[in-house]
Amino acid sequence: MNFHDSYLEDCLNRKIIFFTGKGGTGKSSLAWATAIACQKKGKQVTVASWSRYSDSLASIPTFDVRIEWIPLETLSAFHEYALHLLKFEKIYDVVFENQILKIFILAAPGLSETVIAGKIWDLWHEKKKELIIVDMPSSGHAISFFQSPLGVKKIFHIGIVHKNTVRICEMFSDPETRIDLVALAEELPITESLELKQKLSVLHPFHFGFVHINQMTPELALPTKESLEALAISSRRCLERHMNHLVQEKNLVEMANRMELPILKIPRLATENQTKTVTGLADILEKM
Amino acid sequence: MNGLFENKRVFLIGGPGGVGKTTVAASLGIALAQKGYKTIVLTVDPAKRLAQALGFDNFERDIQKVPLPSPSQGELFASMLDSQRYFDRIIERFAKNPEQCNKILNNPIYRIGTENLGGTHEYAAMERLLEFSNNHEYEKIIIDTPPSQNAVELFKAPQRLSSFMDSSVLKWFTGSRPGFVKLFHRSTRLAMKLFERLFGSDFLTSFGNFLEDLHGMHEGFKNRNLEVIQLLQSELTSFLLVTYPSEIRYHECVSFLGTLQERGIPLQAIIFNKTEQSIQPEDLKSSSILEYYQKIYDIQRCWMREFSNYLPHTPIIELPRLPQEPHQLADLSQIGEKLLR
C-alpha cells in the first residue's frame, strides 16, 4: 500500500495501527487523538491498550458513538481464549482455581505476549471493527511483543498456540497494518526510535507509517526587537531557552530523518488536563 | 546538606518513563561524591551522551570510575546494567554445580525467557542493588530504576520470579508431565489437557525438563527476594519519585504510592523535573511565546498544588527546565547541587 497524501487519509485506509516508541513520549495521547480524528470521519474505531490510564480517556465525549476501548490484560485474554476451547465456564474455573497455572501464564516466556497478540488478532479478524488502534507499551516491551510469536514458534512446535502464531505474523505484515513510532525531540527518544525501527524491521516485513515527534516547541511570534530590550531578565532567559530548544529540535528532526519515514511535528500544547490535550491533538492531526 | 540525603545510604530513583530519572540519578551521584562520599550510581539505559559523560565509552568494564568536575574527597563510580549478562550470573550463583548451570544457560526456553520476559530488567536491577548494598565499601548507592510501563513492576518482579521458581510449581509440572503415572487432582488433569491442546505435548516435556533443571535453585531466589524487601524497607533506604506536574503523572503517582505503602516503603521526596519559570506580568503582552510559557507555568503550579495537597508532608524538590539537555558533568553537578540544597 502506498502512502496517502495526508496522515488522516492514510489512517482511514488502514485496518490496524500500532503506536510504539519510548515510554513517556505520549503514545497513548496520540493513539487516542488519532482515534478521535478518524471517528469524526465516520470510522468505527476500537482502541486496544495496556495502559491503565486509558479508562479516563475512554470517556472523552466525541461526536456520535463513544470509541470502543479494549484493555489488554494477559489473564483475562487467556481466560477468554481457554473458554473458547473448553466451552464451559465451570470447567475453566476448576482448571484455573489453580494458582500455579496463573503463575505459569504470567511467567512462561513469550506466552503472555502471544496471548495478547492473539486477542488483537481476534479483534482484527472481526469484520465490524473498521479500524483498530493499538497503544503499545514502551520500546523494550514492544519488541518482546512483536518477537513473541517468533519465539513461541520455536518453543511450541505444535498445538493451537503454534497455529495462532502463524496467523498473528500474517496480521503484522498485512499491507493494511501500519506501525507508527512516537518520539520526543530529545536525544534518547530519537535514538531509541531509530533502534526500534531497525530491530522491528528484522522481525517482520512491517509497513512502517509515520514518526510522530511529539511535544515540539511551538513556533510562535517572538517579541519585536524594540520590545526585547524592555523585557525583564527572567523573560529574556525564557526566550533564550526557547531559541535553544528550537535549534536542538531542528538537529534532532534531522536525525529522525534517518528513519526515512514521513515525520509529523506535533507541538507541545499548553493544556490543563489530559482530555484537553487529546482533543487538542485530534484537531491538529485532523489537518495533517 | 539536606537531611534527606545525609542520613540515607540507598537512593532509588523511580518514576514514569521520560521524566529524566537517569539525569537525576547521575546528578545526585556527582553531588554526593563532591560532598566526600564514596558513591556508586547504577544506571540501566542512559542516553548516549550522558553515558559518555559518565565514562561509558567502552562497555567492557562493569564498574567505571567517573572523574569529578572539581577535586573532592569523595569518589564516584558508575555501573551500567546489562540485564541479560547479569541474569546469567545470577543463574551461575544459584546453580548447584557447573553442569546444572550450563544446562540452564543453553536452554532455549531460558534464552527466550530472559530476553522477553517482562521484569527481567527489574529483577536484575534489584539483585544488583543488593550486591552493592552488601559491599560496605560504598557509602552512598544510587539506583536509576528501569523504565517500566508501570513502576510497580520493580517490586513485583522479584516476587513473581520467586513464586515461579517455587517448588510447588516444579512439582506440579514435573510430576504431571505426560508419561508420568500418578494420581492427579481433577483440575490438574484438565489443565494438562488444555495445555496440551494449546502448546503441544512436546512443549510440556521441554518445559518440564527446564523446570527440573532449575530444581534446587528456588531457595536462593526466595531468600534474595526477602533480602530485597528488607533492604527496601530499611531506614537507610530512600525512595525518590521523579515526575512532572501534570494530570496524567498525578494519577500515576497516586497509584504508585499505593504500591509503595502496601510494601511499607516510604516516599522521601518528589522531584519535579523540567519545570517552567514564571514570566514578568508586564512582559506577557510583548509576544505570544511568553504568554504560552506563562500558561504552561500556571498549569504546572496547579498540578504541583494537587501533588502537595495529596502528600502534605512529603518534601518537594523542583528542577527547572534547562536551556539544553544536560550532558556535561558540570551541568549534572549543578543539578546535583540543587538537589542537595
Q: Is A137 on the interface with B (CB under 8 A)?
A: yes
Is A15 a residue whose pLDDT tops 90?
yes
Chain mean pLDDT for chain A: 84
| Inter-chain CB proximity A50 and B168 less than 8 Å | no
Considering only CB atoms, which chain B residues are within 8 Å of A220? 287-289, 292
Mutate to test the interface with A, among B117, B185, B225, B275 (most CBs of A within 10 A): B117
Please, which residues 149-208 of chain A have a Cβ atom closer than 8 Å to chain B?
Answer: 151, 154-162, 184, 186-189, 191
Give me the residue label for grid cell 485506509: A13
**Count of CB contacts below 8 A, A vs B?**
202
Mutate to test the interface with B, among A188, A191, A241, A255 (most CBs of B within 10 A): A188
Angstroms from B273 CA to nearest CA on chain A: 13
Q: Cα(B265)–Cα(B318) distance, rounded to whole angstroms?
A: 22
How are strands ordered across the β-sheet holding B10-14? B63-66, B75-80, B38-43, B140-144, B10-14, B237-243, B267-275, B316-320
ipTM comes to 0.86
Give me the residue label for grid cell 517490586: B155
Q: Is A234 on the interface with B (CB under 8 A)?
A: yes
pLDDT digits 0-9 by tens, B135-187: 899 999 999 876 655 556 667 777 767 776 665 666 666 554 444 434 455 66
Mutate to test the interface with B, among A55, A91, A100 (most CBs of B within 10 A): A100
Going by C-alpha positions, the residue among A159, A154, A108, A148 that lies closest to residue B210 is A108
Range in A94-103, A208-217, B91-100, B214-223 the model is least confident about: A94-103
Question: Could you tell me what percent of chain A has a pLDDT over 90?
Answer: 43
List beta partners, residue B43. Answer: B80
What is the mean pLDDT of the segment spanning A134-142?
83
Q: Cα(B253)–Cα(B149) distance, rounded to whole angstroms?
A: 13
Q: Cα(B248)–Cα(B269) distance, rounded to whole angstroms?
A: 19
* Identity of the highest mean pLDDT range in A27-41, A109-123, A214-228: A27-41
Chain mean pLDDT for chain B: 81
What is the mean pLDDT of the segment spanning B47-52?
70
Give me the residue label for grid cell 532455549: B108
Q: Is A112 on the interface with B (CB under 8 A)?
A: yes
| Inter-chain CB proximity B18 and A22 less than 8 Å | yes
- The contacts of residue A184 (CB under 8 Å, 6+ apart) are A22, A24, A25, A26, A190, A213, A214, A215, B18
DSSP B177: S
Mutate to test the interface with A, among B154, B203, B294, B322 (most CBs of A within 10 A): B203
What is the mean pLDDT of the segment spanning B301-320?
94
Is B229 a residue whose pLDDT tops 90?
no
Indicate the residue of A25, A140, A155 with minimum beta-carbon distance to B18: A25
| Inter-chain CB proximity B116 and A273 less than 8 Å | no
Q: Which runs of consecutive H residues, i.e. helices, occur in B35-185?
A: 48-53, 83-94, 98-105, 108-116, 120-134, 153-164, 167-175
Q: Cα(B126)–Cα(B165) distance, rounded to whole angstroms?
A: 17
Q: Is A229 on the interface with B (CB under 8 A)?
A: no
More confident site: B122 or A183: A183
3-class DSSP string for A163-174: HHHHHHHHHHHC
pTM: 0.85
Range in A37-41, B122-126, B329-333 the model is least confident about: B122-126
| Inter-chain CB proximity A24 and B19 less than 8 Å | yes
Give me the residue label for grid cell 518534601: B315
CB A28 within 8 Å of CB A51: yes
What is the mean pLDDT of the segment spanning B313-322?
91
Tell me the C-alpha to C-alpha distance, in Å, between residue B67 and each of A85, A242, B73, B270.
61, 32, 12, 28
Considering only CB atoms, which chain A residues are within 8 Å of B296? 268, 270
Residue of chain B whose Cα is closest to the Cα of A231? B283
Range in A59-73, A153-167, B87-101 the model is least confident about: A59-73
More confident site: A275 or B305: B305
Q: Cα(B222)–Cα(B230) distance, rounded to whole angstroms?
A: 13
Considering only CB atoms, which chain A residues are within 8 Å of B328? none
Please, which residues 25-64 of chain A have a Cβ atom closer than 8 Å to chain B?
Answer: 25, 50-53, 56
More confident site: A59 or A179: A179
What is the mean pLDDT of the segment spanning A262-281?
92
Indicate the residue of A184, A234, A244 with minimum beta-carbon distance to B323: A244
Q: Is A101 on the interface with B (CB under 8 A)?
A: yes
* Identity of the highest mean pLDDT range in A46-55, A175-184, A234-243, B125-134: A175-184
- Confidence bin at A74 (pLDDT 50/70/90): confident
Pair type for strands B237-243 and B10-14: parallel
pLDDT digits 0-9 by tens, B64-81: 888 888 888 899 998 887
Q: Cα(A117)–Cα(B100) distance, rounded to whole angstroms?
A: 34
Indicate the residue of B112, B202, B286 with minimum beta-carbon distance to A231: B286
Considering only CB atoms, which chain A residues are within 8 Å of B166? 103
What is the mean pLDDT of the segment spanning A103-119?
75
pLDDT value at residue B115: 62
Range in A166-170, A275-279, B284-288, B294-298 the model is least confident about: B284-288
**For residue A9, how many other CB atoms are within 10 A of its CB?**
12
Q: Cα(B256)–Cα(B268) distance, rounded to whole angstroms?
A: 14
pLDDT value at residue B330: 86
| Inter-chain CB proximity B16 and A23 less than 8 Å | yes
**For residue B97, how many other CB atoms are within 10 A of its CB?**
9
Give me the residue label for grid cell 493451537: A160
A159: left (phi over 0), alpha (psi -120 to 50) or beta: left
- The contacts of residue A91 (CB under 8 Å, 6+ apart) are B190
pLDDT value at residue B25: 92
- Confidence bin at B259 (pLDDT 50/70/90): confident
Q: E strand or H helix at A181, and its extent? A: strand A177-184
Range in A190-199, A259-268, B82-91, B277-286 the model is least confident about: B82-91
